Copies of this chain bind each other. A is one copy, B any other.
Amino acid sequence: MPAASTRVPQQERSRATRARLLEATVDCLVEHGWSGTTTTVVAARAGVSRGAQLHHYPTRAALVTAAVGHLTERRAAELRAEADALPAEADRLDRVVDLLAAAFTGPLFVAALELWVAARTDVELRTALLPLEARIGREMHRLTVELLGVDERRPGVREAVQATLDLLRGLGVANLLSDDSTRRTALLQAWKTQLTALLAATDTAP
């Protein structure tokens, strides 16, 4: 076993260690919240030594920011793959909204919200998080434009996409303490009709 392990290149092992740390961080945020997500707890959960953890992510803020950044990228890639797998049918918009709504009620949203709220009163975390917030905001917007297959240069499209994401964020918060899926499904049904009309309206704009 050790012989096999040493054949794995160092770089590869480092990447695997980082991946385990980042996943353990998000799991920890989901299960215990920000206050329960200490670097010690995460290292133990990931099965990584304290030394290795400190080597890769020297601070708690660096660790949690990297975790949410990394997993957001992975989730975005998954969303692209899921959207690519959708049949090229008329209800594409509906299915894309459903995919996004699932993301905004999933564990990664919950982990991110833990950080956002904690960062409000934690200067170190806020400093680490602000560039990530800007990046995630841009990425989610670009991803939504891409998944919906709309042209942002048309008037109204940018606002319609933004409103969709802000609405989904609000619905994510409404789902924190209790299962809000029945209300959410009905509301999104109405929103899909509205969004379809909004995007169609911009098609006919001059």
29 A-B contacts, Cβ less than 8 Å apart? A31-B121, A33-B121, A33-B122, A35-B35, A36-B121, A110-B120, A116-B176, A116-B177, A117-B117, A117-B176, A119-B177, A120-B177, A129-B177, A130-B177, A133-B177, A133-B178, A137-B174, A159-B186, A159-B187, A159-B191, A162-B187, A163-B187, A163-B191, A165-B170, A168-B170, A169-B173, A169-B174, A170-B170, A194-B198
A183 contacts partner chain B, Cβ-Cβ < 8 Å: yes
- The residues of B that contact A114 with a CB separation of less than 8 Å are 117
Chain A interface residue number, banded = 35 or more
Q: Which residues of B contact A66 (CB under 8 A)?
A: none
Query: Taking beta carbons and an 8 Å cutoff, which residues of A are in contact with B?
Result: 31-33, 35-36, 110, 113-114, 116-122, 126, 129-130, 133, 137, 156, 159-160, 162-163, 165-174, 176-178, 183, 186-187, 190-191, 194, 198
Report the separation of the CA atoms of residues A178 and B133 in the bound assembly, to the nearest whole angstrom: 9
Q: How far is the CB of A190 from chain B (nearest CB, A)?
A: 4
* Secondary structure call for the A interface: helix
Contact A167 B177 (CB under 8 A): no
Report the Cα distance A185→B126, complex, angstroms: 24
CB distance B169 to A163 under 8 Å?
Answer: no
Q: Which residue of B lies closest to A165 (CB)?
A: B170
Query: With A117-B117, A126-B177, A173-B113 in contact, do A167 and B163 touch (Cβ < 8 Å)?
Result: yes
In the complex, what residues of B have CB within 8 A of residue A126's CB?
Answer: 177
CA distance A172 to B166 in the complex (A): 9
Taken together as a complex, chains A and B put the C-alpha atoms of A31 and B120 apart, in Å, by 9
- Chain B residue with the shortest CB-CB distance to A186: B159
> Which chain B residue lies CB-closest to A198?
B194
A39 to chain B, nearest CB (A): 17
Question: Inside 8 A of A176's CB, which chain B residues have their CB?
Answer: 116-117, 119-120
Tell me the complex Cα distance, A81–B168, Å.
Answer: 30
